[in-house]
Structure 1
């Protein structure tokens, strides 16, 4: 007959011992979330993905397949190249995007997502138009205070030109 554990004798498992030793060392002190209730996520099966994305500062777009990521990038392209200073840099951005689109289109196991290359000339035309519009708005903004007819006081003039003085 096998020997049974007596009820009055405590017996510590290996895991319980590891936990006790860690507590004695203080490994569980000052952990983030200490003293807070365990969050209730309800019936949301994807709660861990959402908390991971929030913690890492990522958008849900990072979870999309590459084809859909590229489509979203193509949609945002006019806005993203708007602040690029030179035409050469805009061409490089579009060429890089087109390289990635071509590589994605050549992959054998890609889902049937319609994907196309971007026309560089169309992007450059939109970039030039937006640049001219911003330049006109800036010129109008600079011309507006001069047209009011107000002259700056001598204190304002000294403040304005203080940085241009040489010593």
Structure 2
């Protein structure tokens, strides 16, 4: 590719000719990845794809700043809750994460300023129910009648006193 574009020849024509001649010489034969789909095809464009690819190839990682790590943990807990076996387990996972988020409100975390909102438990449970049809869910344990619940709490408190 040391030759220069001749005057009076359009760029497209000149480039097309070079590609055609290189193809005829077999310079594109047996290239790595020939006949395989392009990596990342069908995924949204990411300007940092090459950095992420290099980090994967080199097995590199770096710790996220505290605020970003909290956001990532929140996203992962929602995914974990969606895969929970029971609705109660999904609620517990989200509840535990919301507790960690509340604890972070009083701390100075490293990273960009970011106030992680609490996860909407009912929204996650609605999504969980959509993924787990009623016939697949275990039967919920019925709650005792209201009067009995208050008596149970009364005796449980007395037991701990």
Flag whether TM exceeds 0.5 (same fold).
no
TM-score (norm: length of structure 1): 0.40
Q: Which has the larger radius of gyration?
A: 1
Structure scoring higher RCO (CA < 8 A, sep ≥ 6) equals 2
Q: Which has the higher helix share?
A: 1
